Structure 1
Amino acid sequence: MTQTILLAAGGTGGHLFPATALAQELTRRGFAVELATDERAEQYGTDFPARAIYRVPSATFTSRAPLAVAKTLGRLGKGFLRARRLLEMVQPHVVVGFGGYPTVPPIMAARSLAIPTVIHEQNAVMGRANRMLSRFADAIALSFPSTKYLRRSAQKRSIVSGNPVRDEVISYRDVPYAPPEPAGRLLVLVFGGSQGARFFSEVLPPAMEMMPSAARWRLTVVQQARPEDLNELRAAYKEANIAAHVAPFFRDLPERIANAHLVISRAGASTVAELMAIGRPALLVPLPHALDNDQLENATRLEESGGGWCMPQSGITPENLSEELARLLGAPDMLAKTAARSKAMANVDAVKKLANLVEELAGPEE
C-alpha cells in the first residue's frame, strides 16, 4: 500500500516553495503527497504536486487584545477539529509542517492521533508558530546550524537539513552567470512578495532615473508589483525612459533569476535559498517589520559570506540607492565573484535530507 504524507504549509511562497520541493522528492520515492493550506495558496496557482489539496481554517495572532486573542483561538480550534477529521480520512503516515499558523491545526491534530510529525524551519530565526510546535513535534528540521529561539528541549530532536528548493530552481543551477558586457544591457530583476513590493515601486524609479545616463539607457527592469501599483509604476519608468516589464507575479521566476545581472529583493528564506541555488548576485532589502527580524538575519548571513549585499530599508534614499546600483552594475567582475560565492553557499541536498527524515519516520511499507 502506498504511504501517504500530509504536508501543512501557510499559503505564502516562503512556506509553499520548500513544501513543493519536498513533495516533488517524496513523489519520486513513491509516496502519495497531500497538502493542507489556507486560501492564500490560490495566488500561486493550483499546480502544487499533490494528490489532493485541502483548506484548513487558521488564524494568526495579530493583537494581544482579549477579544482578538479569543477570536484567533476560536478559529484555531475550529481548524483543529477540521484537521482532525481530515487526518482520520486521509490517514497519513507522517505530517510535515512548514511554519506559519496554518501549520498549527494539522500538527496538533496529528499529535492527538499519534501520527509522527516533522516541522521545518526555513529561517535563521525560528518562527513563532514553529517555536510553539517544537514542544510537540517528533523531529525538527533546520535550515541553519545556529537557529535563534530553538528551544533547548528541542535540540536533541533537531537535524540541519537546509532549505529545500524546487526542481525548477535546481534546473537552472548549471546555467553560468554572464556578467554585463561593456555597453551591453543591464538586466535588473526586482521582486519582494505582496508585503514588500510597495517600497520597491516607490523608491526604484527615482533611484534609477538619477543614475548616470551611460548606465541608465542600458537598463532593463523586470519588476514584481502589487496590482494597485502597476499603472503608476509603469508610468514612472516610462517618464524616466527606462525599459521595464512590470507584473504582479512571475510564474517563471527561476528563469528570470537565472537571466538577471542583479537581483533586488526582500530576504525571505526561500528567496535567499533560490538565489544561492542558481547563484546570482543580489541586493537584499529585508522587510523591516518582519517578525523577529528573520529577514535581516538571512540577508546578513549572505552578505557576510560574500554572496550579496544588504541594505536596511530605513537607511535607503533614492540618492544612495542610485549610487549603490551604479557601483554594482559598473563592476562586472565583482558581480561575477559574488554570484560564484552565492552559488557555493547553496545546500542542494537539502530536499534529500528532509525526505530521508520523513521516510525514516514513516517506517517500512505495510
Structure 2
Amino acid sequence: MAGARSIMLAAGGTAGHLFPAFALAEELKRRGIVVDLVTDMRGDRYGGGFPARTVYQVPSATLASRSPADVAKTTLMLARGTRAAFSILGRVKPAAVIGFGGYPTYPPLVAARLRGIPTAIHEQNAVLGRANKLLAKRVTAIATSFERTKFLEGSLVEKVVLTGNPVRQAVMDAAARPYEAPTADGVIRLLIFGGSQGARFFSDIVPLALFALPDPIRKRLRVIQQAREEDIERVSEAYSEANISAEIAAFFPDLPARMTAAHLVICRAGASTVAELTVVGRPSILVPLPHALDNDQLNNARRLAESGGGWCIEQRNLSPERLADELEKLLLAPDALAAAAKAAKTAGRPDAVRNLADFTLALAEGRKSGMGRDH
C-alpha cells in the first residue's frame, strides 16, 4: 500500500457488528495499519474504546416497515449519510472500506464505490443480513463466517471468501484456559446472558428452572447472570429465596473470562456469541432470539448444534420445566459436557482475524490472493 496505510471500517452500532470490526481493527493495528471507524449515532455505546484513530458518525436509519412514509424517511436519511460519508472519505482517503453489516454501513460503502475505493462486506451470520443483501452486488468482495451463507448465490459466489468471524483479543486470551467438566461433588458454574434484546426472557425462566432442580444439584450451583437493570432486583431475590449462589449484573466487562470459567453457558445465538463460544470451546444451550430478522440466530444455533458443540432449543419450546429437565441431564453427565466443549472448540476459527486481515490488505492492494475465489 503506497503512502499512509489506512483502512476504513464501517459497522452498525450493535455489539454483533462492532465486535468483529473491533477484532479486525486490533489485528490491523498490530500490523502497523491505521484504522478509522464510521458508524451511526448508536456507536457511542460501544465505540469509546474502539482501537481506531478516529470514530466518525454519519446519519443512518433502519427500514422499519414498507410503508411509503418509512421508505421515504429511510431513503432520505441514507442519502444524507452517503453525502457525509463521501466527504469523510475524501479527507481520509483510505485504501479500502470494509463493512460489517447494519444499515449504517450502507452510506460509507456506497460513497466508497462512488469514489472508486475498493470495498467489501463481512457477514457474521449464516444468513446474509438485509443491509449486506443490498450491498452484495455493489461491493468488490465478500467475506463470510460460515461455509454456507443463505442468500449468497449465483454470481455473488465468485466474490466470496470464507474467513470466519473474528473475535477480540480478550477472547483469544481467555481461550487458552482448557475446559474442565464439573466433578461429582464440586461446584457447577452456570453463565447466563442474552444481550439487551434477550435478557428479560432468561430473567423470567432461568431462576424458576434452577429452583426446580433437585437439592443436591441446586446446592452446587454458582450462577452468573446478565439481567436488565429493571430486572436485577427481582432476579437476585428469586435466587436468594432458592438458596442459590448468584451474581447478577447488567453488564460484565470481563465476559470472555467468565465464559471460560463456566461449565455450561445459556445464551442467545448472535453471531459474535457463537464465534466466541467456539473459539473458547464451551458447551452451551442456545435459545435463538425468536424475532431476529431472517431467523439468523436460529441458523447460527443449528449450525453449532449440528457440530455437537451445543444444544439449540427454540424459545417457544422452552418452559422452566423443560429447561430444568435438560439441565438435570446435562449437569449429571460431565462426559457429555466435555464432549460438547471439545466439539465447539473444533468448530471454532481462532485464525479468523488473521484471515480477515489478509483479505482486507489483499483488497486494498488490488491483489486477488486472499480475496474472493481468485476470480
Tell me the TM-score normalised to structure 1 length.
Answer: 0.97
Mapped partners of 2:303, 2:66: distance in 1 = 32
Mapped partners of 2:287, 2:244: distance in 1 = 22
Asked if the contact 1:84–1:106 (Cα under 8 Å) also holds between the matched residues in 2, the reply is yes
Deviates more, 1:243-252 or 1:133-142: 243-252
Which residue is 1:179 aligned to? 181
Mapped partners of 1:332, 1:50: distance in 2 = 43
Asked if the contact 2:6–2:34 (Cα under 8 Å) also holds between the matched residues in 1, the reply is yes
SS of residue paired to 1:221:
strand
Shift of 1:347: 1.2
Mapped partners of 2:219, 2:110: distance in 1 = 56
SS of residue paired to 1:46:
helix
Which residue is 1:207 aligned to? 209
Asked if the contact 1:131–1:151 (Cα under 8 Å) also holds between the matched residues in 2, the reply is no
SS of residue paired to 2:174:
coil
1:265-344 to 2 correspondence within 5 Å? 265-344=267-346
Which residue is 2:237 aligned to? 235
Which residue is 2:150 aligned to? 148
- The one-letter code of the counterpart of 2:94 is P
Asked if the contact 2:223–2:244 (Cα under 8 Å) also holds between the matched residues in 1, the reply is yes
Mapped partners of 2:71, 2:363: distance in 1 = 34
Shift of 1:331: 1.0
Asked if the contact 2:47–2:55 (Cα under 8 Å) also holds between the matched residues in 1, the reply is no
SS of residue paired to 2:257:
helix
Asked if the contact 2:174–2:280 (Cα under 8 Å) also holds between the matched residues in 1, the reply is yes
Asked if the contact 1:2–1:30 (Cα under 8 Å) also holds between the matched residues in 2, the reply is no
Asked if the contact 1:134–1:151 (Cα under 8 Å) also holds between the matched residues in 2, the reply is no
Which residue is 2:371 aligned to? none
Mapped partners of 2:301, 2:108: distance in 1 = 31
Asked if the contact 1:282–1:309 (Cα under 8 Å) also holds between the matched residues in 2, the reply is yes
Tell me the TM-score normalised to structure 2 length.
Answer: 0.95
Mapped partners of 1:347, 1:361: distance in 2 = 21
- The one-letter code of the counterpart of 1:354 is L
Match of 1:259 among 250, 258, 261: 261
Asked if the contact 1:37–1:56 (Cα under 8 Å) also holds between the matched residues in 2, the reply is yes
SS of residue paired to 1:156:
helix
Which residue is 2:65 aligned to? 63
Asked if the contact 1:221–1:243 (Cα under 8 Å) also holds between the matched residues in 2, the reply is yes
Mapped partners of 1:151, 1:111: distance in 2 = 22
SS of residue paired to 2:178:
coil
Percent identity (aligned): 55
Mapped partners of 1:45, 1:239: distance in 2 = 39
Shift of 1:173: 2.0
Does the alignment pair 1:362 with 2:356?
no
Does the alignment pair 1:349 with 2:344?
no
Mapped partners of 2:244, 2:308: distance in 1 = 30
